[in-house]
Amino acid sequence: MLRWRLLLGSLFIAALAGLCWLDTGPRPGRWLGPLAVLLAAAATQEMFWLYRSRGLAPLAWPAYVGNVGMVIAAAAAVWLNLPQHVLTWPACVLALAMASGFVGEMARYRQPGTTSELLGLGMMALVYVGLCLAFLVALRVVAPDPAGIVALASLIIVVKMCDTGAYTMGRLLGRHKLAPLLSPGKTVEEAWGGLVWGVGAAVLTFALLVPALGGFGTAPWWRWAIYGALVAIAGTAGDLAESLLKRDLGRKDSSPWMPGFGGVLDLLDSVLLAAPIAWLCWKTGLVWLR
Tens of pLDDT, residues 23-69: 776 677 677 788 889 999 999 999 999 999 888 989 999 999 999 99
| Residue 1 pLDDT | 55
Q: Name the pLDDT band for 10 (thresholds 50, 70, 90).
A: low
Convert the pLDDT of each residue in 136-195 to its tens digit: 999 988 888 888 888 988 998 899 889 888 878 877 776 777 777 767 777 788 888 889
- Tell me which of 171 and 13 has the higher pLDDT: 171
C-beta separation of 29 from 78 below 8 A: yes
| Residue 259 pLDDT | 57
- Tell me which of 79 and 194 has the higher pLDDT: 194
Query: Is residue 113's pLDDT more than 90?
Result: no
Convert the pLDDT of each residue in 199-229 to its tens digit: 999 999 888 888 887 777 778 889 999 999 9
First-to-last C-alpha distance (Å) of the chain: 44
User: HSE on the CB side for 1, CA within 13 Å?
Assistant: 10
Q: Name the pLDDT band for 132 (thresholds 50, 70, 90).
A: very high
C-beta separation of 205 from 224 below 8 A: yes
| Residue 136 pLDDT | 92
Question: Average pLDDT for residues 61-87, to the nearest whole number?
Answer: 87
What is the spatial distance between Cα 125 and Cα 77, in angstroms, rounded to a whole number? Answer: 23
> What is the percent of the chain with per-residue pLDDT over 90, rounded to a whole number?
42
| Residue 158 pLDDT | 94
What is the spatial distance between Cα 217 and Cα 175, in angstroms, rounded to a whole number? Answer: 42
C-beta separation of 150 from 210 below 8 A: yes
Mean pLDDT of the chain: 85
| Residue 178 pLDDT | 74
| Residue 163 pLDDT | 85
Convert the pLDDT of each residue in 235-286 to its tens digit: 999 988 988 888 888 887 776 666 556 688 888 889 999 999 999 999 998 9
Q: Name the pLDDT band for 110 (thresholds 50, 70, 90).
A: confident
Residue 101 CB contacts under 8 Å (≥ 6 apart), including other chains = 58, 59, 62, 63, 119, 122, 123, 126
Burial, 180: exposed, middle or buried (Cβ in 10 Å; 0-12, 13-18, 19+)?
A: exposed
| Residue 19 pLDDT | 72
DSSP-derived 3-state class of residue 187: strand
Query: Is residue 288's pLDDT more than 80?
Result: yes
Query: How many helices, marked H, and strands, marked E, lie in the chain?
Result: 11, 2
pTM, rounded to two decimals? 0.89
Q: Name the pLDDT band for 91 (thresholds 50, 70, 90).
A: very high
Question: Average pLDDT for residues 228-236, to the nearest whole number?
Answer: 95
- Tell me which of 192 and 17 has the higher pLDDT: 192
